[in-house]
């Protein structure tokens, strides 16, 4: 799964352990051993000195030999003859011109992880290939898929000639084993599937920087296995949305955006962040360009008091004149960013 010469951050490596059905503690322990024995760290100056990891060459050769029938690395333009039907794990290397998934993928009935990686011709981390939609047949065929990375794609779908909305196909909700769905930066994505509540095993959902999104799906509170929820936002109509968060007890990382759209502090109170003792990282973001004259920013921030277990708090574009009372003695917060 880890091509020779490619770099991975620790979170990307940990995500792939979802296919082994390891618990959170098991993933951490296995990741520590993996990084110590199989990878070597490289300090990446482009990401503020964060360490990324590259697999040792000899271990890579050994892993390829041992897992040759279960895992594979292929480029998007290769034919099906190079892929074993029994493959469980696949890294698909895409180029800037890649416009679709290879047609043979829907024949890999046992596939549990599909990871898209940028090849060397994609010089910038934010460059995207030309994949703009998920084929409905892909979702129907890959019923065992547990990890799906769509990084560097332009996922969007035009449903018909009348509705000018870009969206994921509803069939993606049939991926009931999926643990992680990362859509960060899908600029054309307008709506999420309405039946996402069926994806009961989803643990990670990221819709940060999906600037065209207009609403969150109903019944998000039924995704009780979520531990990471990034980009959850208040819709433009100001309807109740954050009350769905009260049913998510295992949240560890949470970012809330569009907080200027909150019209009633009671909705913010219903999120019950103070009761989420597993929440360690929280980002609260306002839109500084909203131009709303009747802002209640201070009251909203006062209401969104987290538990004392919080370790990292980031507040973006808050335009209130004072900070809330719960921040006057932030001894329980290890890191605080204000932007």
pLDDT in tens, 235-287: 766 556 788 999 999 999 999 998 988 888 888 899 999 999 999 999 999 98
Per-residue pLDDT reduced to its tens digit, 66-86: 888 888 888 887 666 667 788
Average pLDDT over residues 85-95: 86
Q: Partners of 229 in the beta sheet? A: 205, 254
pLDDT of residue 85: 81
CA proximity to 138, closest of 94, 190, 188, 174: 174
Task: Check pLDDT > 70 for residue 19.
Answer: no
Out of 78-92, 161-175, 224-238, which region has the weakest mean confidence (pLDDT)? 161-175
Distance CA 221, CA 57 (A): 44
How many Cα atoms sit within 13 Å of 332 on the Cβ side? 14
Q: Taking the chain, what is the end-to-end CA distance rounded to the nearest angstrom?
A: 38
Q: Give the neighbor-by-neighbor strand order of the sheet with 281-285.
A: 71-75, 89-94, 113-118, 147-149, 180-182, 204-206, 228-233, 253-257, 281-285, 312-316, 335-338
When pLDDT is cut at 50, 70 and 90, the band that residue 198 belongs to is very high
Mean pLDDT of 88-103: 85
Res. 123: pLDDT tops 80: no
Residues 6+ positions from 294 with CB-CB distance below 8 Å: none
Parallel, antiparallel, or unpaired: how do β-strands 281-285 and 312-316 relate?
Answer: parallel
Binned at pLDDT 50, 70 and 90, residue 153 comes out as confident
Residue, of 10 and 57, whose pLDDT is higher? 57
If pLDDT is split at 50, 70 and 90, which confidence band does 115 have?
confident
Q: How many CB atoms lie within 10 A of CB 186?
A: 25
**pLDDT value at residue 203:** 92
Residue 261's contacts (CB-CB under 8 Å, 6 or more residues apart) are 233, 234, 235, 236, 238, 290
DSSP letters for 161-189: SS----B--GGGGG-TT--EEE-TT-TT-
Distance separating alpha carbons of residues 243 and 144, to the nearest angstrom: 32
> Which of 107-116, 169-178, 290-299 comes out lowest in average pLDDT?
290-299
Name the average pLDDT for the chain: 80
At 306-331, the pLDDT tens digits run 998 999 999 999 988 888 888 876 55
Strands (E) in 258-299, as ranges, are 281-285
Q: Which residue has better confidence, 29 or 229?
A: 229
Provide the pLDDT for residue 289.
Answer: 64
Q: Residue 235: name the closest of 279, 287, 187, 195 by CA.
A: 287
Between residues 32 and 272, the one the model is more confident about: 272
* Residue of 133, 114, 130 whose CA lies nearest to 122: 130
Average pLDDT over residues 19-45: 73
Mean per-residue pLDDT for 219-233? 92
Residue 152's pLDDT is 67
The yes-or-no verdict on residue 94 having pLDDT over 80 is: yes
């Amino acid at each position: 799964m880890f091509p020779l010469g490619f770099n991975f951050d620790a979170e990307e490596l940990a995500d792939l352990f979802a296919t082994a059905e390891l618990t959170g503690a098991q993933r951490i322990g296995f990741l520590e051993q993996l990084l110590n024995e199989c990878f070597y760290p490289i300090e990446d100056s482009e990401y503020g000195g964060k360490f990324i990891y590259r697999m040792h060459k000899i271990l890579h050769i050994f892993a390829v030999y041992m897992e040759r029938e279960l895992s594979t690395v292929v480029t998007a333009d290769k034919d099906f003859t190079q892929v074993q039907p029994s493959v469980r794990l696949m890294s698909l290397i895409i180029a800037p011109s890649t416009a679709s998934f290879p047609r043979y993928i829907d024949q890999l009935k046992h596939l549990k992880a599909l990871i898209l990686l940028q090849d060397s011709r994609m010089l910038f981390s934010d460059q995207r290939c030309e994949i703009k939609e998920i084929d409905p047949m892909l979702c129907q065929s890959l019923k065992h898929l547990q990890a799906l990375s769509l990084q560097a794609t332009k996922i969007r779908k035009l449903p018909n000639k009348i509705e000018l909305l870009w969206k994921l196909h509803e069939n993606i909700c049939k991926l009931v084993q999926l643990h992680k769905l990362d859509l960060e930066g899908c600029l054309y994505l307008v709506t999420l599937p309405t039946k996402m509540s069926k994806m009961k095993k989803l643990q990670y959902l990221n819709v940060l920087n999906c600037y065209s999104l207009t609403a969150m799906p109903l019944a998000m509170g039924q995704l009780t296995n979520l531990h990471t929820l990034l980009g959850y936002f208040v819709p433009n109509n100001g309807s109740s949305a954050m009350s769905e968060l009260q049913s998510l007890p295992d949240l560890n990382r949470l970012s809330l955006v569009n907080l200027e759209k909150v019209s009633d502090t009671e909705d913010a109170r219903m999120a019950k962040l103070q009761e989420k003792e597993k929440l360690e990282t929280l980002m609260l973001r306002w839109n500084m360009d909203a131009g709303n004259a009747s802002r209640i920013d201070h009251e909203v921030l006062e209401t969104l008091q987290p538990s004392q277990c919080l370790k990292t708090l980031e507040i973006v574009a808050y335009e209130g004149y004072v900070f809330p009372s719960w921040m006057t003695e932030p001894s329980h917060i290890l890191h605080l960013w204000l932007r």
